[in-house]
């Protein structure tokens, strides 16, 4: 199946547009794309006529020109006929927004639609989904545009069985400055499933990290997913739902999936270096870190702090998250001490975590990061910055980014997420250095890199 017409369409028909209800999902989708996106958008309703002075086409066959993809938002019982009409008229793929299929017990109806599509090699997303959000290209979500928080275009591809989780995750991504290449709500995943999306993203030049919210699989599908993930050249992050008995029951009623044995699936993900996020907060941190450093690390971090307390907090978080804080060599300690400013040379603590004290200046932090990065025991640097320290300049983010680039080892920064520190944060982010808004968040980023280490 060729999915480019679904995820990068130039033309789209919205089937099921209402002549009387502006808030109908099909109307929201049509209006948003017609007014805000470059995709050529057609409205289809059997009655024909006009909608806001634009033509309403009674059938797909009345549209003059080719249609790359269709958005189907009609009652469930009409969907098989609409899919057949799409195939007949050369439409190359569809998003089926309509609900009322397997999630409601109508397995036969969903099977019928699936059989029609598979026989014609016709890809569709759904049913029972929000569909596709491709930044600057297309948005099939039936949510008013003014209510959606859109992340910028970036390199994270995110696939979710739940449309609500997808939209909520987009809000979190936007808040952390994480851009996405594509967001897909696959709902009941009757045709396009997670494995198909791995294939798409692996060949997509805009995607560096692949993230999933997964509720469940069909029989043996979990094994196939892990095998495909193992062969993928890009890091994969998974947030798995259905971990508890109540959660498993909710999964079945939501998207008619089998939650399966969570503990077994979780252990297999660890074995094959798929990064499992325990919650949405971890998912966000994992995606940000891996979008900058997709190759992963062994998990040995060197911590540079301006406060002994922050170093302690980081050390505790590392212990909880399974991140190592190794000792550093006497040569590294000597090189750092020799190059520190005289004011802190005798008061800085140079065991890992390093405490440079609130009296340090930019050059002290640069020196510490540079020599830590050269230590063979260290494969990632956590720089915990307190911008309110008097000796720290607004250029510290850009300066440390230059050091990290020159030394060739990953660095993760902690900077409080406040507007007055935005220039420091941007100094890192513009140089592809991930920035956490909490010490724990920085440790979670290191955890992500360890979980996606080469197997």
Residue 107 lies in a domain: yes
Residue of 71, 211, 227, 200 whose CA lies nearest to 140: 71
Q: How many folded domains does the chain comprise?
A: 3
Which tokens in the block code for residue 437?
Answer: 């808004």
| Strand, coil or helix: 288 | helix
> How many other CB atoms are found less than 10 A from the CB of residue 431?
16
Residue 139 lies in a domain: no
Q: Residue 191 class from Cβ within 10 Å (0-12 exposed, 13-18 middle, 19+ buried)? A: buried
| 122 in the same domain as 160 | no
| 302 in the same domain as 283 | no
Residue 144 lies in a domain: no
| 214 in the same domain as 283 | yes
| Strand, coil or helix: 271 | helix
Residues 95, 127 contacting (CB under 8 angstroms): no
Q: Residue 209 class from Cβ within 10 Å (0-12 exposed, 13-18 middle, 19+ buried)? A: buried
| 302 in the same domain as 280 | no
The last residue of one of the domains, among 127, 157, 173, is 127
| 309 in the same domain as 286 | no
Residues 124, 94 contacting (CB under 8 angstroms): yes
Residue 141 lies in a domain: no
| 74 in the same domain as 36 | yes
The last residue of one of the domains, among 266, 292, 318, is 292
- Sign of the C-alpha dihedral, residues 180, 182, 188, 190? negative
| 171 in the same domain as 45 | no
| 169 in the same domain as 111 | no
pLDDT tens series, the chain, 455 aa: 899 999 999 999 999 999 999 999 999 999 999 999 999 999 999 999 988 889 999 999 999 999 999 999 999 999 999 999 999 999 999 999 999 999 999 999 999 999 999 999 999 999 999 999 999 999 999 998 888 899 999 999 999 999 999 999 999 999 998 999 999 999 999 999 999 999 999 999 999 999 999 998 888 888 899 999 999 999 999 999 877 555 555 554 445 555 557 888 888 888 888 999 999 999 999 999 999 999 888 899 999 999 999 999 999 999 999 999 999 999 999 999 999 999 999 999 999 999 999 999 999 999 999 999 999 999 999 999 999 899 999 999 999 999 999 999 999 999 999 999 999 999 999 999 999 999 999 999 999 999 886 54
Question: Domain of 35?
Answer: 1-127
| 164 in the same domain as 109 | no
Instruction: Assign residue 89 the CATH number of its domain.
Output: 3.40.50.720
What element of type H or E holds 366?
helix 362-373
Q: Residue 172 class from Cβ within 10 Å (0-12 exposed, 13-18 middle, 19+ buried)? A: middle
- Sign of the C-alpha dihedral, residues 149, 95, 256, 212? negative
| 78 in the same domain as 57 | yes
Q: Residue 326 class from Cβ within 10 Å (0-12 exposed, 13-18 middle, 19+ buried)? A: middle
| 445 in the same domain as 302 | yes
Residue 132 lies in a domain: no
């Amino acid at each position: 199946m060729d999915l480019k017409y679904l995820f990068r369409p130039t033309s789209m028909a919205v089937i099921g547009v209402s002549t009387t209800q502006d808030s109908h999902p099909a109307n929201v989708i049509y209006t948003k794309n017609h007014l805000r996106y470059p995709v050529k958008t057609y409205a289809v309703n059997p009655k024909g006529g006009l909608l806001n002075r634009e033509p309403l086409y009674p059938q797909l066959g009345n549209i003059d020109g080719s249609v790359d993809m269709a958005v189907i938002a009609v009652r469930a019982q009409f969907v098989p006929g609409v899919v057949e009409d799409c195939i007949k008229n050369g439409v190359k793929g569809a998003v089926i927004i309509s609900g009322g299929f397997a999630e409601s017990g109508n397995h036969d109806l969903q099977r019928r639609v699936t059989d029609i599509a598979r026989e014609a090699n016709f890809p569709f997303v759904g049913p029972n989904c929000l569909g596709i959000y491709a930044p600057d290209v297309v948005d099939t979500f039936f949510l008013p545009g003014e209510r959606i928080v859109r992340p910028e275009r970036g390199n994270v591809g995110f696939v979710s069985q739940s449309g609500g989780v997808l939209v909520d995750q987009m809000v979190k991504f936007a808040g952390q400055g994480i851009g996405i290449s594509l967001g897909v709500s696959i709902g009941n995943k009757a045709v396009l499933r997670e494995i198909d999306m791995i294939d798409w993203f692996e060949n997509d030049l805009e995607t560096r990290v692949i993230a999933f919210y997964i509720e469940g699989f069909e029989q043996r599908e979990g094994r196939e997913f892990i095998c495909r993930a193992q062969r993928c050249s890009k890091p994969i992050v998974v947030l798995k739902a259905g971990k508890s008995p109540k959660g498993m029951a909710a999964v079945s009623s939501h998207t008619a999936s089998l939650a399966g044995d969570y503990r077994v699936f979780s252990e297999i993900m660890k074995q094959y270096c798929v990064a499992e996020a325990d919650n949405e907060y971890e998912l966000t941190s994992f995606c940000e870190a891996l979008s900058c450093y997709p190759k992963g690390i062994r998990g040995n971090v060197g911590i540079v702090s301006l406060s002994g307390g922050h170093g302690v907090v980081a050390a505790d978080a590392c212990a909880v998250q399974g991140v190592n804080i190794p000792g550093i060599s006497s040569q590294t300690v000597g090189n750092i001490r020799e190059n520190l400013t005289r004011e802190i040379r005798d008061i800085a603590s140079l065991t890992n975590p390093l405490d440079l004290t609130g009296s340090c200046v930019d050059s002290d932090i640069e020196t510490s990061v540079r020599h830590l990065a050269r230590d063979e025991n260290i494969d990632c640097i956590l720089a915990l910055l307190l911008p309110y320290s008097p000796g720290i300049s607004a250029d510290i983010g850009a300066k440390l980014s230059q050091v990290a680039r020159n030394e060739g080892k990953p660095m993760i920064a902690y900077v409080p997420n406040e507007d007055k520190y935005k220039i420091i944060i941007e100094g890192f982010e513009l140089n592809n250095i991930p920035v956490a808004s909490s010490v724990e968040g920085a440790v979670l980023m290191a955890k992500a890199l360890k979980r996606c280490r080469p197997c």
